[in-house]
């Protein structure tokens, strides 16, 4: 099985505090890896290291065969890794279509100059529209993104990820703040990233039923260390995981 993403002995120390230590794992192509762990375990910090928002103190990161450990965030994005943020990161005063179009243009290596005539970007606009359609937002393409409901903003983020053409997608708590009735539809959209679009997906989520429904394997972080990475069933049955994190309810 080819590895889409490999991290080896990854560590992060900030101001003397060890945030992450000795993280070694590899994610297979087209796999969906769930990442769980208590608040402050280091999940977002791991994504920060993978996307280049923070520099690793130790270790290496490979995207496929390519080492990306020392690349800047935009270079990693071009290499094929995309992320959404725990808090929404869209441009509120641009329309939905413009938000997605920027990602599509950057993926094509062209500038993100929005002032150029729209007819110069027919292909990009077509692709941006297709991405909006895939998340059920095409009919809202002309609205300002800031006017969207929270749930629609999360969908827009997925459309942006799709437009970016990245092979590896990092989703940090995509269900955060969603009302319960809107969760199943977003789960299906996220599932399509792997099933339809053949992405490799890393998803941090506190909703266990979402992780269990989506993940091929689950990695458990605890106090900045990787407790285990295994099938959902084995993770749930793991006594160390139960006592360290999941508690008695599983």
Binding interface with ligand ATP (CB under 6 A): 14, 17, 19, 37, 39-45
Comparing CB distances to ligand ATP, the nearer of 104 and 219 is 219
State the nearest-atom distance from the C-beta of 136 to Mg ion, in Å: 27
State the nearest-atom distance from the C-beta of 120 to ligand ATP, in Å: 41
Comparing CB distances to Mg ion, the nearer of 10 and 125 is 10
Binding-site partner at residue 41 among Mg ion, ligand ATP, none, CB < 5 to 8 Å by type? ligand ATP
State the nearest-atom distance from the C-beta of 206 to ligand ATP, in Å: 7
Cα distances (angstroms) measured from residue 41 to each of 20, 21, 24, 239:
8, 11, 16, 18
Residues in the site for Mg ion, rule: CB under 5 A?
43-44
Comparing CB distances to Mg ion, the nearer of 163 and 204 is 204
- Are 158 and 88 in contact by the 8 Å Cβ rule? The answer is no
Considering only CA atoms, which of 222, 203, 221, 200 is closest in space to residue 213? Answer: 203
State the nearest-atom distance from the C-beta of 134 to ligand ATP, in Å: 27
Residues near 129 by beta carbon (within 8 Å), at least 6 away in sequence:
97, 100, 138, 141
Cα dihedral 194, 54, 206, 148, rounded to 10, equals: -70
């Amino acid at each position: 099985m080819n590895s889409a993403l490999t991290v080896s002995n990854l560590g992060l120390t900030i101001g003397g505090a060890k945030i992450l230590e000795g993280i070694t794992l590899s994610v297979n192509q087209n796999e969906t890896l769930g990442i769980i762990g208590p608040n402050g375990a280091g999940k977002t910090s791991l994504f920060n290291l993978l996307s280049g928002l923070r520099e690793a103190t130790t270790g290496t990161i490979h995207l496929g065969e390519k080492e990306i450990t020392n690349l800047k965030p935009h270079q990693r994005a071009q290499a094929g890794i995309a992320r959404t943020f725990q808090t929404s990161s869209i441009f509120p005063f641009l329309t939905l279509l413009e938000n997605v179009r920027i990602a599509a243009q950057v993926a094509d290596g062209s500038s993100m100059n929005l002032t150029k005539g729209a007819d110069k970007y027919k292909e990009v606009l077509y692709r941006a529209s297709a991405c909006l359609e895939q998340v059920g937002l095409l009919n809202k393409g002309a609205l300002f993104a800031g006017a969207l409901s929270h749930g629609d903003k999360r969908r827009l983020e997925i459309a942006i990820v799709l437009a970016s053409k990245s092979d590896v997608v990092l989703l940090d708590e995509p269900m955060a703040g969603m009302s319960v009735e809107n969760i199943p539809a977003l789960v299906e959209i996220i599932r399509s990233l792997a099933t339809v679009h053949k992405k490799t997906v890393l998803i941090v989520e506190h909703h266990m039923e979402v992780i269990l429904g989506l993940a091929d394997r689950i990695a458990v972080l605890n106090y900045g260390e990787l407790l285990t990475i295994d099938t959902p069933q084995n993770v749930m049955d793991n006594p160390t995981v139960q006592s360290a994190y999941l508690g008695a309810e599983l």
